[in-house]
Homo-oligomer: A and B are copies of this chain.
Amino acid sequence: MVLLRHAVGQSLRAARTSQSRTLREVAREARVSLGYLSEVERGQKEASSELLNAICTALGLALSDVMVDVTNELKSRETVTLTVVDAA
């Protein structure tokens, strides 16, 4: 089962690493704890909508940018699932 928090975390981590920034830097700018951001990025914690916006702002992204990325990730994973089902 594809979970939204996994796709969100993956997108946020990819954005941060593509900017060569550390968890500490982004967490400070977003005013969230380093542990919180780390858990969100690993898909272990659901980010609240407010803190998700703060993290997006710290990364210089619109929330919709992240959601475009998330949607593409979900679609690709759903397609894989459908393919596997189809082959069974």
Contact = CB atoms under 8 A, between A and B. Distances in A.
A74 B64 contact: yes
A48 interface: yes
A65 B1 CA distance: 15
Interface residues of A, number: 22
Copies in the complex: 2
Interface of A: 1-6, 46, 48-50, 52-53, 62-64, 67-68, 70-71, 74-75, 78
Given A67-B74, A68-B71, A75-B64, A48 B46 contact: yes
A5 B64 CA distance: 13
Contact of A63 (B48, B50, B78): B78
